[in-house]
């Protein structure tokens, strides 16, 4: 009897040891290879950021040089976002066809042509042609950067890595503001052309560097190239065990038997993208429908809460606040870009520690407060007969506060969330829908701000944005589940439960784990193994 008990304890010890060996460390080191891949892919987002930032200052000189009115200025500033639609919609299918990596190269090439056209524009119509071409390139880059980064990242640092596109958008905005200030001393007809044309330089460098990146392991599996996918996963995972689990999950999502170990296999036709749009839009499962609503909603609210109005028209806002010197307005605008860049860097380190939901809800709450206070400050200044320095300082502080709160949550989480919630077979097209909604909303907001400010006053415009942000907070609270730590293949089980069901779902999961813990305490080795597996996946 004693021998049997000792033998049982020995088996239990072996089981416990195997569980410890199987589990990843509590705090795995950052995978530098995955980080390098994410950085290179995300740098394509500089294109959008630079265009937004540089256009805010270039508009001042374009208006003087080409003798255009405010409506033409609005169209010029915002139309690129609508042109992005073509690029983002085409990028989904293109990336499934030629791969994620070469799609990034295509984005750089298209933007290069657009930047050259804008730099040599001789009139308003010529400039609009350049905006059209550049917009297509930006649409490609916006869609593919977060998708590639999400697909190459290990689950432990996916939030950190997939926030990089937003980091580089902010970095691009900062470079655009600096470019404005640097070239503002040149003759008017030359300054704005250099501001826009110099954007061609980083696109050439990035297009070359990206060729050194590996292809997305998920795209490789979709092509049946299991051997290549395994080699990439071995380099981008935190452990050998995680690489094997990720490969098994991807094969399952692509319809490939888990026991298949050939380097090259025949992939079932349905995994190549046929009928994807029908599955997304016409006959979605409850899980896919929920994920689509979440992705579209977060992209819509990110832009409709007014971020592009603040970034594009910050010189106008500072002018309304009482800053009259062009040099001072551009310097204040540089401060906006600096603030956005600093806080987005802070956000990248919090995404995988705090989680998506807490950061997002806190971020939006801060945005609501900042927008409402900015509206109050601008309204007071507009109705005052003399300059109120405290109100001017309040408005500047609230602009900086707004972009800080946006950058610490709403900005990066939109790209992180929408790139990770769709199943593998729908990811590229699902992400392209999110980008399309993002760009349409941004185009509408940026092309109506000046007219809206004249119609309901500039203070009223920011009260409207504050109201939209309030609605977004309610939407996020009820519609967006936490995705922190989940594998991409685990997302489908997370969606499909709306509103109050989230709390019930979380409660049920907690009860199940407590039951397993209880079973484990009674010596149930099987329960211990299952618990370890659940903790690894979660």
CB 111 within 8 A of CB 167: no
Tokens encoding 353: 């520690």
Which pLDDT score, from 0 to 100, does residue 9 have?
Answer: 52
Closest CA to 198 of 267, 111, 264: 111
The angle at the Cα of 276, spanning 274 to 279, to the nearest 5 degrees, equals 130
Percent of the chain with pLDDT over 70: 83
- pLDDT for 243 beyond 50: yes
In this prediction, residue 274 has a pLDDT band, given cuts at 50, 70 and 90, of low
Sole residue written with tokens 């036709």: 269
Is residue 170 a part of any domain in this protein?
yes
Shared domain for 242 and 332, answered yes or no, is no
pLDDT of residue 126: 92
CA distances to 105, 339, 374, 398, 448 from 173, in Å? 21, 11, 22, 19, 21
Residues 327 and 251 in one domain: no
User: How do residues 83-113 score in pLDDT, each as one tens digit?
Assistant: 888 887 788 788 888 888 899 999 999 999 9
> Residues 62, 108: one domain?
yes
pLDDT score, position 514 = 47
Listed in sequence order, the residues at least 6 apart from 171 whose beta carbon sits closer than 8 Å to its beta carbon are 46, 49, 341
Residue 525 has pLDDT above 70, yes or no: no
Mean pLDDT, the chain, rounded, equals: 79
Q: Determine the distance from the C-alpha atom of residue 227 to the mean position of all C-alpha atoms in its chain, rounded to a whole number.
A: 30
Of 75 and 159, the structure prediction assigns the larger pLDDT to 75
Is residue 5 domain-resident? no
pLDDT at 5 over 70: no
Residue 533 has pLDDT above 70, yes or no: no
Tell me the pLDDT tens digit for each residue of 279-289: 888 888 888 88
Tell me the mean pLDDT in the region 507-515.
Answer: 46
Predicted confidence at residue 251, as pLDDT, reads 84
536: nearest Cα among 466, 465, 470, 486: 486
What is the arithmetic mean of pLDDT over 136-164? 80
Burial class for 521, CB neighbours closer than 10 Å (0-12, 13-18, 19+) = exposed
**Whether residues 120 and 243 fall in one domain:** yes
368-386 confidence digits (pLDDT tens): 999 999 999 999 988 887 7
Q: What is the predicted pLDDT for the residue at 443?
A: 86
Q: Given a cut of 90, is residue 155 above it in pLDDT?
A: no
> Is 12 inside any structural domain?
no
Full-model pTM: 0.69
The pLDDT of residue 367 is 95
Residue pointed to by tokens 């690894």: 536
Q: DSSP for 215-231, please give it.
A: PPHHHHHHTTBHHHHHH
pLDDT-derived band at 489 (thresholds 50, 70, 90) equals: low
Residues 367, 345: Cα–Cα separation, whole Å: 18
What is the pLDDT, as a whole number, of residue 321? Answer: 82
Q: Which of helix, strand or coil describes residue 198?
A: coil
Same domain flag for 358 and 433: yes
Residue 53: predicted pLDDT: 82
Domain count for the chain: 2
* pLDDT in the model for residue 56: 81
**CA-to-CA distance for 475 and 297, rounded, in angstroms?**
8
Residue 360 lies in a domain: yes
Phi, psi dihedral angles at 203 (to 5 degrees): -65, -35
Mean of pLDDT values over 333-344? 85
List, in sequence order, the alpha helices (H) in 99-209.
Answer: 100-119, 124-152, 158-162, 164-183, 188-197, 200-209
CA neighbours closer than 13 Å in the CB half-sphere of residue 52: 32
For position 478, which CATH number holds? Answer: 1.20.1250.20
- Is 376 a domain residue? yes
| Residues 335 and 208 reside in one and the same domain | no
Position with higher pLDDT, 226 vs 521: 226
Among 216, 232, 265, identify where a domain stops. Answer: 265
The verdict on 306 and 255 lying in the same domain is no
Q: Across the strands, what pairs with 264?
A: 225
Q: What is the pLDDT of residue 281?
A: 82
**How confident is the model at residue 364, as a pLDDT?**
95
From the CA atom positions of the chain, what is the Rg in Å? 25
**Is the same domain home to 170 and 242?**
yes
Measure the CA–CA gap between 130 and 112, rounded to whole angstroms: 10
Same domain, 37 and 148: yes
Residue 536 lies in a domain: no
Residues 255 and 290 in one domain: no
Residue 506 pLDDT: 47
CA 195 – CA 207 distance, rounded (Å): 21
Backbone angles phi, psi at 225, to 5 degrees: -95, 70
pLDDT at 520: 43
Q: Quote the pLDDT of residue 373.
A: 95
Rounded Cα distance between 122 and 125, Å, is 8
Name which of 42-46, 408-412, 486-490 the model is least confident about.
Answer: 486-490
Confidence band of 174 (pLDDT split at 50, 70, 90): confident
Q: Are residues 114 and 177 in the same domain?
A: yes
Contact 216, 148 (CB under 8 A): yes
The answer as to whether 362 is a domain residue is: yes
pLDDT band at 28 (very low <50, low <70, confident <90, very high): low
pLDDT of residue 518: 46
**Boundary-marking domain end, from 265, 294, 328:** 265
The answer, yes or no, to whether residue 475 has pLDDT greater than 90, is yes
- The domain boundary, picked from 219, 235, 265, lies at 265
Q: In the beta sheet, which residues pair with residue 433? A: none
Q: What is the DSSP code (8-state) at residue 272?
A: G
Please tell me whether residues 247 and 390 are part of one structural domain: no
Residue 10, in any domain of the structure: no
Q: How confident is the model at residue 505 (pLDDT cuts 50, 70, 90)?
A: very low
Range of the domain at 324: 283-511
């Amino acid at each position: 009897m004693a021998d049997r008990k000792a033998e049982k304890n020995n088996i239990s010890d072996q089981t416990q040891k195997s569980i410890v060996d199987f589990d990843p460390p509590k705090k795995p080191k950052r995978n530098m290879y995955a980080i390098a891949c994410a950085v290179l892919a995300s740098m394509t987002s500089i294109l959008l950021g630079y265009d937004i930032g540089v256009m805010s200052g270039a508009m001042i000189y374009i208006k003087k040089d080409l003798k255009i009115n405010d409506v033409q200025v609005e169209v010029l500033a915002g139309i690129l976002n609508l042109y992005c639609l073509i690029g983002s919609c085409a990028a989904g299918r293109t990336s499934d066809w030629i791969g994620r990596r070469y799609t990034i190269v295509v984005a750089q090439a298209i933007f290069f042509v657009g930047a050259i056209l804008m730099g040599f524009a001789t009139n308003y119509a010529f400039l609009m042609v350049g905006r059209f071409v550049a917009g297509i390139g930006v649409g490609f880059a916006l869609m593919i950067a977060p998708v590639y980064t999400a697909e190459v990242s290990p689950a432990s640092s996916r939030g950190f890595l997939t926030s990089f596109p937003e980091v580089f958008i902010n970095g691009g905005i900062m470079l655009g503001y600096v470019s404005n200030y640097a070239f503002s001393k040149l003759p008017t007809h030359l300054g704005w052309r250099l501001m826009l044309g110099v954007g061609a330089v980083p696109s050439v460098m990035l297009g070359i560097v990206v060729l050194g990146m590996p292809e997305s392991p998920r795209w490789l599996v979709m092509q049946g190239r299991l051997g290549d996918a395994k080699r990439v996963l071995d380099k981008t995972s935190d452990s050998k065990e995680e690489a094997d689990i990720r490969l098994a999950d991807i094969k399952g999502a692509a319809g490939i038997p888990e026991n298949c170990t050939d380097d090259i296999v025949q992939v079932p036709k349905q995994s190549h993208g046929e009928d994807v749009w029908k599955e997304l839009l016409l006959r979605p499962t409850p899980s896919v429908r929920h994920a689509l609503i979440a992705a579209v909603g977060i992209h819509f609210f990110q832009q409709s809460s007014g971020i592009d109005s603040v970034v594009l028209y910050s010189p106008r806002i500072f002018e309304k606040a009482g800053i009259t010197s062009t040099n001072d307005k551009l310097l204040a605008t540089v401060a906006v870009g600096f603030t956005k860049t600093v806080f987005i860097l802070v956000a990248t380190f919090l995404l995988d520690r705090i989680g998506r939901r807490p950061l997002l809800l806190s971020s939006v709450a801060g945005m609501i407060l900042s927008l409402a206070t900015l509206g109050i400050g601008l309204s007071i200044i507009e109705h005052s007969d003399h300059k109120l320095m405290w109100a001017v300082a309040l408005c500047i502080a609230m602009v900086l506060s707004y972009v800080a709160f946006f950058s610490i949550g709403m900005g990066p989480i939109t790209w992180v969330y929408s790139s990770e919630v769709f199943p593998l077979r729908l990811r590229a097209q699902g992400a392209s829908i999110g980008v399309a909604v993002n760009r349409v909303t941004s185009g509408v907001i940026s092309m109506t701000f000046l007219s809206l400010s004249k119609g309901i006053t500039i203070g009223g415009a920011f009260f409207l944005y504050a109201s939209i942000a309030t609605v977004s907070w309610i939407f996020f609270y009820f519609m967006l589940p936490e995705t922190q730590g989940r594998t991409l293949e685990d997302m489908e089980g997370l969606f499909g439960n709306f509103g109050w069901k989230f709390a019930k779902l979380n409660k049920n999961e907690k009860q199940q784990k407590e039951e397993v813990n209880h079973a484990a305490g009674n010596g149930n080795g099987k329960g211990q193994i299952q618990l370890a597996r659940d903790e690894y996946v979660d």
